[in-house]
Chain A
């Protein structure tokens, strides 16, 4: 068996094992934590898109949430206007965001660093205006109402499935597909060429890697992954500008940094932190007499502190720290 096939098999086993683990875990969780775990999987896909873009190719995006929105709108438009299934919606979301990423990536390849970050941020900020300009199709600033629906009869006849559990079960195969795809991609020849561009553009060019084209390809792939995550994320109830605000992009970036930019395991751990940290804080302060006005903002405050501490003390994030210890 050649090396590529072995990596492919190893990633398949890892993805399936994680899937089985989370599937079994869904039976032990209360609905709230089932919903939170589903949210982890949705955001994890978004963070994976950053892992590819920033971790593998070194490009910075502050507007990844807007790419998720493109996927969300593509999927929701199809579901609400044509009655398509959510699974078809996912495919369309990936395709539409890939095309959007191609257009954006072509422009993005000409800029780098803070300019690229600024460009992507502007796209995220422009989203409400775009949604409002095409109100009849995109639902204006309210958005399009979509959801996960209910389990098919053959499942609900077998077992009682709650709304949050169903969310988790839908999110699981989608996230695992993204995980499997990204894991293989990062370990592939293409992934290595992206990393070469990230580490030294001139060196990569000398080695025969077309730098500009590579950057565009990475943008397309990253966008497609973000679009998939966005379609899934929108199914929580609504696809609209307020669902994909700039703060979503920053949350994705926070998760990527906390876990370790460029690490797939780090992406998962970082997402777990940003999703479950508010609950941990809630639990920690539950016995204290703190006003709601303050306690409602404590998670954001502490996440910010954690982010700053990570950047200053351990810039490589959780997985980066583990990696250093191994060596």
Chain B
């Protein structure tokens, strides 16, 4: 039971970060049906910028919380700029091209961003300075740290404010209108290009915050972190129903929990000794584990493939005839 609760806590934390990243994918997809392949790299750049700023400010003696906030405050506008730049240069000219074309430029942009980051921050794994004092609280046998609480709170706030923005403001209405029918939205006086650019910028801003959270939570950042994180967040978006904002939130949290529980229990479930198979390795309470927790990363992909095969519209998505 302790493992279960602990993995739930860990899964919820990771999942809420996935959810925030997934929002970036889903917003862009909802509006122009493009998988912004480079979104993971935006998250990475967010983490990297924050890393540099935090490292720079640590000797200044400012309070730790302020340092992290300044780090995030620098990461967000830079990522927004990157998001806007890539929409403008790589995606907008191809808006009416065949579907494969913007996908391929997205891959190109992703490689370029990754290697620019490699040039600036080297290929080493960077250790985030652990400046926020971490305390653990115990709830029913599971430990939850201050950082985890902060991440859950920040992600929840971000999601809530995005929901308000999309469903309660004129800008949100314009976004939803553009998603439904860009031509008609244009006829109604909505500047579609502006709305699409704003969508990219918002997604990138969310991604930047997610990058900072991810970096402080796991304590590391590397120029390659964006691709796996991006892929997981994309899986989360598909799980919830791509293009659907509440879906991305649900999908992210679910994926985090599935992954954490999977990693926690796969070893026990694939222990051949526990199945009662008499093996030499099992003598005296030994184990013979087929798949250990090092297969954790496989879960996201399995979820992705299973969802696409059995329920391509995702949990909350609507059935669309000939999408993709």
Do the two chains belong together in a single complex? no
Interface residues of A (CB under 8 A from B): none
Interface residues of B (CB under 8 A from A): none
